[in-house]
């Protein structure tokens, strides 16, 4: 029983951040409360991202009232693939993905058909607040489908692989890829069984992989060795993540990014309360990196986004 636990001193020596420290030392200190709606509402995030020229999936339309639902269908027929998501949803809930359509019938990635009525009802559910935090009324955001880069084939099972980068005061400090598995039911949430792969900030290469907080070597469904994973366009992706600091004003931020086949790295969403599993995926505590950034900021060093990325690449490379 006791052998399942480790000593707090050992964790502290490794610079591992706990939930209490994250909450009081970083989130509440560096993330101004009034900026939360920007991050928690995907529509608002999109608007500021467009303002700051941050690459995001194109916005097709917004459904704000039940009445809008009728008029949105003709618009959807013009786009072969699209995603409908609730603006205030969290954890990937309420996201409807349509990859293609044939003679008026929409198809989900799994090949299951979705009729016009299904799409309408999904929009209606989003408006009613079925997927939003606390059930508050919501709006449905419809955006263009991301065509995932084929470089991740075999690393992800049935789902969207995304890259999370923790950006602290504008410096990308730690990164991981989240790969869905059969256990996670195509979702990229680590606590549901997705694989987390720590990514080297310097090179974009895989460092270490975990599932259910325990180290693994191969993807459990495809058996591909996770060590082979390399994220392309790494420099561009880091710059994108870094620029989210100016865009959102959040000091401690989780940025979720995807790689589009033609457009490269894109910002999918922001997270003001990123979890701690990224440390396990990296096999390393995040605190020494945060402390280093705090130190140089305290010393009055001012970097532009590009300099910040270079700083991170040299300091946090493994």
Partner 1 sequence: MSSRNIFYFIVTLCMLIGISMTLYRHIQFEVPWLPGEKRQIWSIEAKVEFDAKGESVEAVLALPLTQRGYTRIHESTASLAYGLSFVNDQDNPRAIWTKRTADGHQEMYYKVDFLVDPKAVDIYQPQMPDTPFTEYPEPYFTAANHLAKQAEEVSADAYSFTRELIKALTDETASKSQNTGLILDYKPKNRLVVDLLNNAHVPARIVRGLQLEDGRRRQGITEYIQVFKDENDWQIFDLATGTQGRPENTLLWEYNGNSLLEVVGGRNSQVTFSMLLVEQSAQSAVAPKISEADFLNFSIDSLPLEEQALFKGILLIPIGVLIVVLLRVLVGLKTSGTFMPVLIAMAFMQTSLITGLIGFLLVVGTGLVIRGYLSHLNLLLVSRISAVIITVIGIISIFSVISFKVGLTEGLKITFFPMIILSWTIERMSVLWEEEGPKEVLMQGGGSLLVAVLAFLAMNNDYVRHLTFNFMGIQFIVLGIILILGNYTGYRLLELRRFKPLADREG
Query: Which range of residues in 14-22, 49-57, 72-80, 219-227 is near partner 1 by CB under 8 A?
Result: 14-22
CB 209 within 8 A of CB 195: yes
How near is the Cβ of 9 to partner 1 at its closest, in Å? Answer: 10
Question: Which of residues 25, 220, 249, 288 is near partner 1 by CB under 8 A?
Answer: 25
How near is the Cβ of 86 to partner 1 at its closest, in Å? Answer: 12
Task: Write out the binding residues for partner 1, residues 230-269 only, by CB under 8 A.
Answer: none
How near is the Cβ of 29 to partner 1 at its closest, in Å? Answer: 11
Both tokens of residue 105? 């019938």
Task: Write out the binding residues for partner 1, residues 104-143 only, by CB under 8 A.
Answer: 121, 124-125, 128-130, 135-136
In angstroms, the CA 24 to CA 30 distance is 10
DSSP 22: I
Q: Does 65 bind partner 1 (CB under 8 A)?
A: no
Both tokens of residue 175? 């990164």
Give the list of residues 6+ apart from residue 202 with CB closer than 8 angstroms, or none.
Answer: 313, 314, 316, 317, 318
CB 139 within 8 A of CB 214: no
Residue placing its CB nearer to partner 1 in the complex, 4 or 150: 4
How near is the Cβ of 53 to partner 1 at its closest, in Å? Answer: 34
How near is the Cβ of 66 to partner 1 at its closest, in Å? Answer: 11
**Nearest-10 Cα torsion for 221, 204, 304, 27:** 40
How near is the Cβ of 42 to partner 1 at its closest, in Å? Answer: 17
In angstroms, the CA 118 to CA 177 distance is 32
Of 306, 262, 253, 305, which is closest to residue 45 (Cα–Cα)? 253
Q: Does 96 bind partner 1 (CB under 8 A)?
A: no
How near is the Cβ of 175 to partner 1 at its closest, in Å? Answer: 16
> x/- binding map, residues 174-213, to partner 1, per CB under 8 A?
------------------x-----------------x--x
In angstroms, the CA 144 to CA 98 distance is 10
Q: Does 8 bind partner 1 (CB under 8 A)?
A: yes
Of 29, 13, 308, 11, which is closest to residue 173 (Cα–Cα)? 308
3-state secondary structure of 235: helix
Residues that bind partner 1 in the complex, under the rule CB under 8 A = 4-8, 10-12, 14, 16, 18-21, 24-25, 91, 93, 121, 124-125, 128-130, 135-136, 192, 210, 213-215, 276, 279-280, 283-285
């Amino acid at each position: 029983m006791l052998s399942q636990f480790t000593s707090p001193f050992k964790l502290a020596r490794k610079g591992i951040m706990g939930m209490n420290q994250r909450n009081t030392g970083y989130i509440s200190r560096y993330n101004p409360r009034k900026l939360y709606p920007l991050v928690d509402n995907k529509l608002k995030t999109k608007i500021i991202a467009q303002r700051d020229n941050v690459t995001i999936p194109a916005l097709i339309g917004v459904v704000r009232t039940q009445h809008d639902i009728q008029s949105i269908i003709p618009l959807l027929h013009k786009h072969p693939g699209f995603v409908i998501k609730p603006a205030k949803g969290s954890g990937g809930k309420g996201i409807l993905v349509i990859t293609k359509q044939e003679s008026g019938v929409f198809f989900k990635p799994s090949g299951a058909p979705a009729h016009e009525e299904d799409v309408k009802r999904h929009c209606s559910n989003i408006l009613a607040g079925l997927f939003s935090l606390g059930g508050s009324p919501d709006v449905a955001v419809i955006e263009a489908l991301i065509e995932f880069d084929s470089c991740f084939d075999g690393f992800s099972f049935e789902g969207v692989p995304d890259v999370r980068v923790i950006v602290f005061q504008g410096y990308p400090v730690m990164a991981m890829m989240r790969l869905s598995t059969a256990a996670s039911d195509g979702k990229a949430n680590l606590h549901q069984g997705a694989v987390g792969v720590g990514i080297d900030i310097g090179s974009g290469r895989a460092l270490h992989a975990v599932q259910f907080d325990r180290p693994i070597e191969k993807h459990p469904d495809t058996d591909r060795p996770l060590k082979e994973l390399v994220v392309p366009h790494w420099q561009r992706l880091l710059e994108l993540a870094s620029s989210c600091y100016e865009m959102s004003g959040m000091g401690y931020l989780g940025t979720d990014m995807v790689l589009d086949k033609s457009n490269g790295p894109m910002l999918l969403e922001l997270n003001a309360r990123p979890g701690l599993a990224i440390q396990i995926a990296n096999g390393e505590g995040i605190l020494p990196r945060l402390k280093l950034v705090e130190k140089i900021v305290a010393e009055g060093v001012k970097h532009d986004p590009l300099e910040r990325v270079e700083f991170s690449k040299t300091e946090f490379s493994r």
